[in-house]
Amino acid sequence: MALDKYVTLGRSGLRVSPLCLGAMTFGEDAGWGSSVEESQQILDRFIDLGGNFIDTANGYTKGHSEKIIGDHIGHDPAKRDRLVIATKFSSNLYPGDPNGGGSGRKSIVAACEQSLRRLRTDYIDLYWLHNWDVHTPIDETLAALDDLVRAGKVRYIGVSDTPAWKVAQANVMAYFRGWSAFIGLQIEYSLLERSVEAELVPMASELGLGITPWSPLKGGALSGKYTRNNDGHLKADRGALVSLSEKTYALVDELEVLAKAHDTSVAAIALAWVQRQPGVTSTIIGARRLTQLEANVKALDVKLTADDFAHLDTLTKPAFGFPQNMQPLFGSIHHGGTSVNGVDAPVLPFIMQVGEKPY
């Protein structure tokens, strides 16, 4: 159950643990979440297990999440330097101030200074663009982030919740201008959310961005605690009663079968699937209680077989639209009836056949 099998994040030399501790639940300011004391216990246990990657944001629990981390770790420079602390900008904590959030230079610089103060540190290891700001040119955002890197206040930058074409534009621009480029991509990814495999996952692979999935249990739907028997009777952490679709319950049923076969939990199976998807570096696990952390870390011990992966893929494989839905035809158009990289593709009837001569 150790977290000390480190991996490099994307095309960088930054070593992170295979699971990342998500700190969105640190603080009870939003009416739900972990107390300061339990948040500290979760941090300590995660670090004791070898975890070194902690993810938060300036907007989580009104900034309290960052402060909890800073108050607990900031007083110990040696401990802080051994950790990879990631936080995000974009959230506006100041109603009435149009420059209090977003991705403009004024907002980014101010948000960085405020996060440094709350985290009680001189630098942020990984600074995420939390979500795309359509009102700010991406070159302005990148230039501001590069200035922060050059000033030593930020070590690496990443991007979250942004279209693939915009991320690609940003990184190609950064490469040509000699600016710091995004090394990580934070996206929602789970057995119930695979639409990212159409554009975002291939883009990350092509450009060398390490994927850090969030909500790998789809907000608790794949935790195993919600069943047909308690449908509509159990509350989620944020207070709403939970009722899942029949499709989701059918998937949970299959996860329960695999969980019994591997002597583990439904959540561990779902996490193990995400963690072993192509391009995934470190999966973000949230934990409102210490027991949840202990349970989720056990996913690292699960060894799914090729048949297990194939079965889950069959159950949840998404159907993509144009142009991905045409991809199966391209081999027949391109290969001339040969096998290329193990892909066999027959010649299409309307393509020139063997023995025919071109016009």
3-state secondary structure of 115: helix
Give the residue among 244, 224, 222 at the shortest CA–CA distance from 233: 244
Mean pLDDT within 84-98 = 97
Contact of 66 with 99, CB cutoff 8 Å? no
DSSP secondary structure, 52-77, as one string: -EEE--TTGGGGHHHHHHHHHHTT-H
How long, in residues, is the chain? 359
Position 306 pLDDT exceeds 80: yes
**How would you classify residue 202: left for phi > 0, otherwise alpha for psi between -120 and 50, otherwise beta?**
alpha
Write out 239-255 in H/E/C secondary structure. CCECCCCHHHHHHHHHH
pLDDT for 187-245, tens place per residue?
999 999 999 999 999 999 999 999 999 999 999 999 988 888 787 666 766 667 678 88
Rg (CA), the chain: 22
How high is the mean pLDDT of the chain? Answer: 94
7-320 is a CATH 3.20.20.100 domain: yes
Q: Which residues of 254-278 are buried (b: 16+ CB within 10 A; e: fewer)?
A: bbeebbeebebbbbbbbbbbbbebe
* Cα 74 to Cα 81: distance, rounded to the nearest angstrom: 10
pTM (2 d.p.): 0.94
What does the angle CA 23 – CA 133 – CA 130 come to, to the nearest 5 degrees?
Answer: 15
Report phi then psi at 130, rounded to 5: -70, -40
Instruction: Provide the pLDDT for residue 357.
Output: 82
Position 266 pLDDT exceeds 80: yes
Instruction: Provide the pLDDT for residue 224.
Output: 87
45, two tokens: 């246990």
Give the residue among 64, 42, 40 at the shortest CA–CA distance from 285: 42
* Cα 23 to Cα 222: distance, rounded to the nearest angstrom: 20
Mean pLDDT within 136-163 = 98
pLDDT for 47-59, tens place per residue?
999 999 999 999 9
Residue 32: how many other CB atoms lie within 10 Å: 15
Maximum Cα interatomic distance, the chain, rounded to a whole number of Å: 78
Give the residue among 125, 139, 127 at the shortest CA–CA distance from 81: 125
91, two tokens: 């959230």
Number of H helices, E strands in the chain: 12, 12
Mean pLDDT within 175-186 = 98
* Cα 236 to Cα 168: distance, rounded to the nearest angstrom: 36
Q: Between 36-48 and 290-297, two packed helices, what is the crossing angle to 10 degrees? A: 30
Q: Where in the sequence numbering do the catalytic residues fall? A: 60
CA distances from 53 to 13, 86, 186, 241 (A): 14, 7, 14, 32
Instruction: Provide the pLDDT for residue 241.
Output: 67
- Residue range(s) of every CATH 3.20.20.100 domain in the chain: 7-320
